[in-house]
Structure 1
Amino acid sequence: MLTNHYKFWPRIPTSLTLPQTSLYDNLSVTTKRYPDKTALIFYGNTIIYKTLHDEVIALAGFLQQAFEVQKGEKVLLFMQNSPQFIAAYYAINRADAVVVPINPMLTASELEFYIKDCEIQTAIIGQELYDQVAPLLQSTTLNNLVIAAYSDYLTANEVIRLPKEVVEPRKGFEGSQHVYWQDAIAANYVPTAHTVDANSLAVIPYTSGTTGLPKGCMHPNKTVQANILGSFHFSRPTPNTVHLMTLPLFHVTGMVQSMHTPIYTGSTIVIMTRWDREHALEFIRLYKCTHWVTISTMLVDFLSNPNLRAEDVASFLSISGGGATLPEAIGQKLLELTGIRFVEGYGLSETIAQTHVNPPDRPKLQCLGVPTFDVDSRIIDPATGKELGANEVGEIVTHGPQIMTGYYNREEENKHAFIELDGKSFFRTGDIGRYDEEGYFFIVDRVKRMINASGYKVWPTEIESFLYKHPAVKQACVVGVPDARRGETVKAFVILQDEYVGRISEGEIKQWAKEHMAAYKYPRIIEFKQSFPTTSSGKILWRKLQEEELSKLENA
């Protein structure tokens, strides 16, 4: 086990004793401690912990008594960030069932896979997603729906320019097993005794499926608790902390960092259903947000706001995130504006968010951080499984208390997902990285993303980081495209800062890159774009851009 990083560990223990309780128990304890404290702020409306807890209990009772949800049954949670998402998540756990949180951007044909994979009978959905769900009521096991209108949680004191899904009035739906959210709460059913424990399955988040069919990651309460407590001790929130929630809650980082950890702490959560940099700025000013877990694309957009001033963000104590490496230039801009160093972390759906975090008092830019509490991470040769040393590039493998118990219904994949080292089972991340002499880990790229240009290995993440140093570059995405002479060559898509649009050419960016990068690395092709395709969590879909390039070549 690597221990060099303990020299830079915060002045706290390196190991944690985890609770043997459920996620719902965290909310229950917090509510007893702070019943009248504001738990959620939703576009001007405030909800105290007692109200949130009461709704969780009522909905849990409804699921059990009206829809006959059984212990261990999988329940679909298909909605956008909202008070209802949070209440539904904890209600499913309180009902001794399993949360299956699914990306609200999916179409009916895509959603069908998840319902069949988990044999889901009951779903809690946002009303704007009903059209994606309705066709599946005939072709799958899905039968019971609780339908939520986000506008039910608005007050007269509305924020302007609200997302259309948020302001849309409650719609009418037909169906004997279709129940409005408010009616399910108003029925005031009482749930049976809460009988799940730390080992009971709590949630099945799905991988993105970029390398095949999506896979459900089985997480009992104890693996989620491991990262809740880890986040609590590393980011140091208090009941007076105000968290800005911008990451989608179906995604593990948003789920753990922006929902579970604040609720464990008794903090306040400012909910954003959709990312909007103007709303974010307004809420930070109004509610004096102290903590923000985000991703680089959101932070790049936020810092590009011409209306942003240092005094607007003076309340922040911590800004952190993961998902993609933060460009050095953006980290420096944030530091100059706020005096805060961006704290990066690293994790996967299989690890229910973080396995690595930068020490808050000694972070490194463009760095995954150090293995967190009780985590043993190594670098191996992906072909042979041989363990490698400091500054040698290989696959990141991880052993820790937050690792999933396995993929749901995927026996064959489970055989290849783990490797044994020194008598311990390590999860194979599929990410290529290294660690330095101080024990800090760095990502090089995904195994599947490497570009082979004239026999040289080129890692797109490295090229993107260089491009961000150019003052004209707002966002960059690098892909490999076929080349008759080099096999593959490097192409960079660039979104320009507003003030540079029309004032700089692709050729000038290419020449600058040529002067700053090795000959085999610099992008031979530059293309300006106005936007990138992204996931709902804000990650750039590099694979889609690459597929579009391949399609162009095939058509040509």
Structure 2
Amino acid sequence: MRLLEAVAEWARRTPDALALEDPRGEKVTYAGLATLTHAAAVALRRRGIGHGSRVGLILPRSTDLVVMQLAVLRAGAAFAPMDPAQPTERLRMLLKTAAPDLLVIDDAGLAEADGGRATDVADLLATARSGSLDTAESGGPARPDDPAYCLFTSGSTGSPAGAVISRRAMDHYVSAYAELAQCRPSDRAAQLGSPGFDVSVEEIWPFLYAGATVTIAADTARSSPQRLAAWLRDSGITTAFVPPLLLEAFFRMAPAVDLGAVRLLRTGGERLAGYPPEGFPYRVLNEYGPTETVVAATYCDVSSWQDRDVMPPIGRPLPHIRLSVRDQDGTVVAPGTPGELYIGGPTLAIGYLDDEERTARRFVRLDGERWFRSGDIVRALPSGALAFLHRADEQVQLLGKRVEIGEVEAALGSYPAVRRAAVLAVPDSAGRADHLVCYVRWADDVAGADPVRLRAHLEGVLPGYMVPAAFHEVDDFPVTGAGKVDKEALARLHMAATHPPAEATDAVLDSLVRIWEDALTTTGLTPDDDLFEHGATSLQALEIVATVHERLERTVSIRNVFDHPTPRALARLWEGDAA
């Protein structure tokens, strides 16, 4: 059964069952969801939206966003969601690439991103709720191979790449994942992921397909492990996708962590560095999959994984997925030999929006089949499960989001005072990207040669997680024989220049308190004030990493901040006696 048909069937079978709820107190039953999406689809069609159209959605996580996505599908069009928290300049860049036939927003201030041509979601839904529309007009002549949605990923050339997913691919994934996660009408599924990132596809559609309730969390719910645990428990959540950074904190909190009714935790987006401790009462799935193959392509139940001498594997394919590990020439490698992961099956994207060259490079035909080249180097374990090793290029996962180093470097290159710049991803102890650092050579006699002004420039054009945490000025770069920046040599220089841990003084502790206050835009904090108890987000933790480097010339990781969230605890980390 297809997604739209399944939602309509639940509206007939359990009309009063709760489908959606959000932090504003909005609640939508399955009957209400069916009625509202039908009417909203009519409102869209009267605005010229139908088969072949693309609708941009710059909306926060809310029932309105889900209703609009369903309405766009019902109208026969495709939706392109974008996170409204991004800088306006970046939204303009995304809109230029997406070229939507209609843009729907909830903030008049965002209308300028599309030249003032946007439609307010409140007006559109008010029309839909008025009862004045003939809902018989709602259906569009969509075909299985027509686009369902477009999600943007970081692009190596400096521009985001829009991965276009077909309706057939979306329907295949939704039904397969609903079976994998054993989605059921009694589930209360958490929706925590940002709009515009593919995890939201997993958080919403398989559960609506199964007749469950999708509960949309406030942003503050995911600001710390403690807050998230409390929200999951108090909201009666039964299953949630939790990024590795927060999930590993749950592991460390055990056995004290109480998640209430949770039966299943899912994770992914970056490497999971540990296993659930003995007695951890919640099943954990470690998932892997690029946006271009519709979220999860493989999974591993790490709760029952026996060989804990290896890093948690990414596991085996979902039933509809085909995997192949190949060398640089595209030849299948022997089992256990590292190689690039090729992914096949019905959930492959149509390609990249208006980018035939990139599409041809990443989607290839081999042995009569179409494959997506993931760029991930893996190897098969003796059990047959796959282990992720590293990337074959300069793409990294940072805070669970894909980052192309080339896109960050392109943004640096657009600043007039930069003559040359290079960006490195600094790894944590598990080999995952923890934060970015920038090395810059200034242009001669050009105003603006200042790291503070450079950071401000980047914050205006890039999402916060893509802005380097530290900036280093250099007179020249080590280069390869081909004249390119030698990043391996640069990484060695970075490690050599890293300040070793030193004893924390009262002055350092005072400085950390001020850094906490600046990040939280407050005053009167003490050395024992917990960053996350004051509502900090992961981006504010990243800001602390950057400020500590800038003011104290010391290197900390974002995971250090998560594990030691008070000024005193972080200071003790430098003393070497943190608990």
When normalised by structure 1's length, the TM-score is: 0.69
1:464 maps to 2:464: no
**In the aligned structure 1, how far is the partner of 2:22 from the partner of 2:4?**
21
Quote the Cα distance in structure 1 between the aligned partners of 2:189 and 2:45: 32
Superposition deviation, residue 493 in structure 1: 13
Alignment of 1:295-310 (within 5 A): 295-300=243-248, 309-310=256-257
CA gap 1:240/1:409 in 2 versus in 1, 3 angstroms: same
C-alpha contact (below 8 Å) 2:189/2:215 kept by paired residues = yes
Structure 1 residue 131 and structure 2 residue 109: aligned?
yes
Give the aligned residue type for 1:280. Answer: L
SS at match of 1:93: helix
* 1:290–1:318 contact (8 Å) kept in structure 2: yes
Q: Does 1:376 align with 2:319?
A: no
The superposition leaves residues 475-505 of structure 1 with CA deviations (integer Å, 9 ceiling, x where unpaired) of 95587987899553265999xxxxxx969xx
Q: Which amino acid aligns with 2:196?
A: F
Does the aligned pair in 2 maintain the 1:342–1:363 contact within 8 Å?
no
Q: Does 1:345 find its partner at 2:348?
A: no
SS at match of 2:282: coil
What secondary structure, in the 3-state scheme, does the structure 1 residue paired with 2:341 have? strand
- TM superposition shift of 1:461: 9.6
SS of the equivalent of 1:63 reads helix
- Post-superposition offset of 1:60: 1.0
* Contact 2:36–2:128 under 8 Å retained in 1: no
Contact residue 359 and residue 370 of structure 1 kept, 8 A: no
Letter matched to residue 186 of structure 1 = S
User: What is the rounded CA distance, in whole Å, between the counterparts of 1:110 and 1:492 in structure 2?
Assistant: 35
- Deviation of 1:92 after TM superposition, in Å, equals 0.6
* Whole-angstrom CA distance in 1 between matches of 2:270 and 2:540: 7
Instruction: Give the deviation of 1:319 after TM superposition.
Output: 0.5
Report the Cα offset of residue 103 of structure 1. 2.5
Counterpart pick for 1:70 among 25, 35, 50? 50
1:47 maps to what in 2?
A: 28
Measured in 2, the distance between the counterparts of 1:210 and 1:295 equals 24
Superposed counterparts of 1:162-177, under 5 Å: none
Q: CA separation of 1:30/1:317 partners in 2, compared to 1, >3 Å: closer, same or farther?
A: same
Is 1:94 aligned to 2:74, yes or no?
A: yes
1:445 and 2:390 matched = yes
**CA distance in 2: counterparts of 1:480 and 1:442, whole angstroms:** 30
Report deviation, 1:184. Answer: 4.6
Matches of residues 62-461 of structure 1 in structure 2 within 5 Å?
62-65=43-46, 67-127=47-107, 130-137=108-115, 143-148=117-122, 179=123, 181-186=125-130, 188-191=132-135, 192=137, 193-210=139-156, 212-255=158-201, 257-274=202-219, 275-277=222-224, 280-300=228-248, 309-310=256-257, 312-328=258-274, 331-333=275-277, 336=279, 338-359=280-301, 362-363=304-305, 366-382=312-328, 384-449=329-394
- Partners of 2:87 and 2:395 lie apart in 1 by 30
CA shift in 2, pair 1:326/1:359, >3 Å: closer
Residue deviations 1:165-215 (CA, integer Å, cap 9, x gap): xxxxxxxxxxxxxx3643453364234234323222211112222553212
% of aligned pairs identical?
19
Deviation for aligned residue 1:46: 3.3
Alignment CA distance shift 1:370-1:502 (3 Å): farther
Pick aligned residue for 1:38 from 18, 25, 28: 18
Q: Which runs of 5+ in 1 are unaligned?
A: 1-18, 149-178, 452-458, 468-474, 495-500, 507-529
For the residues of structure 2 that align with 1:444 and 1:281, how far apart are their CA atoms? 31
Question: More displaced, 200-209 or 75-84?
Answer: 200-209
For the 8 Å contact 1:107–1:132, the answer to whether it is kept is no
Residues 232 and 492 of structure 1: is their aligned pair in 2 closer, same or farther, counting only changes over 3 Å?
farther
1:488 aligns with 2:468: no
Quick one: structure 1 residues 424 and 135, their matched pair in 2 at CA, closer, same or farther if it must change by over 3 Å? Answer: closer
Q: State which drifts further: 52-61 or 194-203.
A: 194-203
Structure 1, residues 328-384: CA drift from partner, whole Å, max 9, x if none?
A: 1xx335x54x323421111111111011111477447521111111322122223x2
Alpha-carbon distance between aligned partners in 2 of 1:370 and 1:97, rounded to the nearest angstrom: 33
How far apart, CA to CA, are the structure 2 residues paired with 1:267 and 1:239? 4
Normalised by the length of structure 2, the TM-score is 0.66
* Cα distance between partner residues in 1 of 2:245 and 2:233: 21
Give me the whole-angstrom Cα distance separating, in 2, the residues matched to 1:268 and 1:411.
Answer: 39
Residue deviations 1:416-453 (CA, integer Å, cap 9, x gap): 112333321211011122221222112122223499xx
Q: Is the 8 A contact 2:146 2:167 kept in 1?
A: yes
Compared CA separation, residues 502 and 183, structure 1 to 2 (3 A): farther
Instruction: Output the amino acid matched with 1:214.
Output: P
Question: Counterpart in 2 of 1:511?
Answer: none
CA contact (8 A) 2:152 2:162 kept: yes
Write the letter of the residue equivalent to 1:465.
A
Larger deviation: 192-201 or 225-234? 192-201
State the Cα RMSD in Å. Answer: 3.9
Runs (5+) with no aligned partner, structure 2 = 397-423, 440-476, 479-485, 509-530, 554-579
TM-aligned CA distance change 1:314 to 1:112, over 3 Å: closer
Match of 2:525 in 1: none
Amino acid at match of 1:276: S
CA distances 1:502-552 after superposition (whole Å, capped 9, x unpaired): 69xx9xxxxxxxxxxxxxxxxxxxxxxx99xxxx9989999x98xx99xx9
Contact persistence 1:296–1:326 (CA under 8 A): yes
Contact 2:376 2:391 in 1 (8 A): yes
* Number of residue pairs matched by the alignment: 434
State the 1:463 CA deviation: 5.3
Following the alignment from structure 1 to structure 2, what is the Cα–Cα distance between the partners of residues 432 and 47?
Answer: 43
Query: Is 1:324–1:539's contact at 8 Å kept on the other side of the alignment?
Result: no
